[in-house]
């Protein structure tokens, strides 16, 4: 591999050989290079947030016929830098009665949970943090730390509104984790492995074509897991005054902000890896730098869909949101998983076109069946409501007065 085709691996190999040349043991040199790589990855994740915040504010502004940031720098591109400086200079206030240890750990856990996911995401054939064979399970486990961070923030703040926001975490994020994990099993089942790089390598045909319905459920559940609109009931300022982070100020609040925006882009990275072929593309295996470019293009497209949903859909009620998960997404995900498992077993050993066509057809049939059931239910519900609440008619005396 030349430097131009794979600069990241080339730099890592050169640095490791340089440390060995200084007299360090090979294992110790590899450990140092790994630590430097982890630091660079974390720094990249934290720095890209500045660009993501600017992009999201501009994109949502255009969707809503506004201008967005346009004062600081060209097109307002340095607005995020100004906001960061403002947060860094703000006073840190700890509420009376707060559990200080838990209160101060919560923002760190929120950021750590998101950055931890990036450790197993393959950016290219040779560029990844760690290629563990349970990468998909690791993502679910590390993502749960973010839920813990919000619960810690709400409970330790000694504020009833913050505690209410934390309670909503238990009801919302955990209930949407059920369809999320169920649909996560679909790419695992298709690839025959839980390793993220193995899942990418198995996608000679992108899994979105084999399981489009699974992709849609996973994306919706992921957006709900982040707590973004229309699922932002954790911090519904019109109901609970900003929710779990109301008692945080300065950069402690900013860390929750960073975690939310970075997690939104992380959704794009995870979905691109599981359903869109990850880094795979023309020439990606020969030139890993191309694979990195393909990966970020795919991740950004999914991220734009997440931003689009936030700027388009209104917030829904908490009962509607929970019903949507328990009564619709979870049963649908279970049916899809079971039917696809049976279908894949039946076509085992068949030509690729049979394998792909049958998988796609199963998803389409389940989708049409679901739409038919929803239409039938809606028809019955409208009939029931019309019978229980007949159209009120004005009394005769009113007509006479008119």
pLDDT at 397: 53
In this structure, are residues 120 and 194 in contact, taking their beta carbons and an 8 Å threshold?
A: no
Q: What average pLDDT does range 120-131 have in this prediction?
A: 88
d(Cα 267, Cα 73) in Å, to the nearest integer? 29
Distances (CA, A) of 273 to 269, 270, 278, 294: 6, 5, 4, 11
Q: What is the mean pLDDT of residues 271-290?
A: 91
pLDDT at 399: 45
pLDDT in tens, 163-207: 888 888 778 888 898 999 999 999 999 999 999 999 999 999 999
Assess contact for 295 and 124: CB atoms under 8 A: yes
Contact, 325 vs 182, CB < 8 A? Answer: no
Confidence at residue 402, expressed as pLDDT on a 0 to 100 scale: 47
Eight-class DSSP state of 315: P
41-78 pLDDT per residue, tens:
888 888 899 899 999 999 999 888 888 888 888 888 99
Q: pTM score, two decimals?
A: 0.89
| Contact (CB, 8 A) for 114 and 78 | no
How many other CB atoms are found less than 10 A from the CB of residue 19? 18
Among residues 151, 133, 219, the alpha carbon closest in space to that of 183 is found at: 219
10 Å CB burial of residue 61 (0-12, 13-18, 19+) is middle
Provide the b/e sequence for 32-49 (b: ≥16 CB within 10 Å).
Answer: ebeeebeeebbeebeeeb
Q: Which band of pLDDT confidence, cut at 50, 70 and 90, is reported for residue 395? A: low
Q: What is the mean pLDDT of residues 25-43?
A: 87
């Amino acid at each position: 591999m030349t430097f131009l085709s794979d600069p990241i691996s080339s730099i890592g190999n050169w640095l490791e050989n340089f440390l060995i040349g200084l007299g360090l043991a090979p294992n110790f040199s590899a450990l140092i290079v790994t630590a430097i790589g982890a630091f660079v990855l974390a720094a990249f994740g934290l720095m890209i947030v500045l660009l993501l915040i600017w992009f999201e504010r501009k994109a949502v502004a255009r969707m809503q016929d506004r201008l967005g940031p346009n004062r600081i720098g060209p097109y307002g591109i340095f607005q995020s830098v100004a906001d960061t400086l403002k947060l860094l200079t703000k006073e840190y206030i700890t509420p009376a009665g707060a559990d200080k240890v838990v209160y101060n750990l919560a923002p760190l856990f929120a950021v750590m949970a998101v950055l931890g996911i990036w450790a197993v995401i393959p950016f290219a054939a040779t560029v990844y943090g760690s290629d563990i064979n349970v990468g998909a399970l690791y993502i679910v486990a590390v993502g749960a730390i973010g839920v813990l961070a919000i619960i810690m923030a709400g409970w330790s703040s000694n504020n009833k509104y913050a505690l209410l926001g934390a309670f909503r975490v238990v009801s919302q994020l955990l209930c949407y984790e059920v369809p999320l994990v169920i649909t996560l099993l679909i790419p695992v089942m298709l690839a025959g492995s839980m390793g993220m790089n193995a899942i990418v390598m198995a996608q000679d045909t992108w899994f979105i074509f084999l399981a489009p319905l699974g992709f849609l459920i996973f994306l919706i559940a992921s957006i709900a897991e982040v707590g973004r609109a229309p699922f932002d009931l954790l911090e519904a300022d019109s109901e609970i005054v900003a929710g779990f982070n109301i008692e945080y100020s300065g950069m402690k609040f900013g860390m929750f902000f960073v975690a939310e925006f970075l997690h939104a882009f992380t959704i794009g990275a995870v979905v691109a890896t599981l359903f869109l072929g990850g880094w795979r593309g023309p020439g990606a295996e020969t030139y890993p730098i191309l694979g990195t470019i393909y990966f970020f293009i795919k991740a950004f497209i999914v991220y734009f869909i997440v931003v689009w949903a936030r700027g388009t859909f209104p917030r829904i009620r908490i009962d509607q949101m929970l019903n949507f998960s328990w009564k619709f997404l979870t049963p649908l995900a279970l049916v899809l998983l079971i039917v696809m498992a049976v279908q894949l077993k039946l076509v085992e050993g068949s030509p690729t076109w049979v394998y792909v066509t049958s998988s796609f057809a199963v998803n389409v049939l389940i989708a049409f069946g679901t739409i038919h059931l929803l239409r039938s239910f809606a028809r019955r519900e409208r009939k029931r409501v019309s019978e229980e609440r007949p159209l009120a008619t004005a009394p005769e005396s009113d007509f006479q007065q008119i």
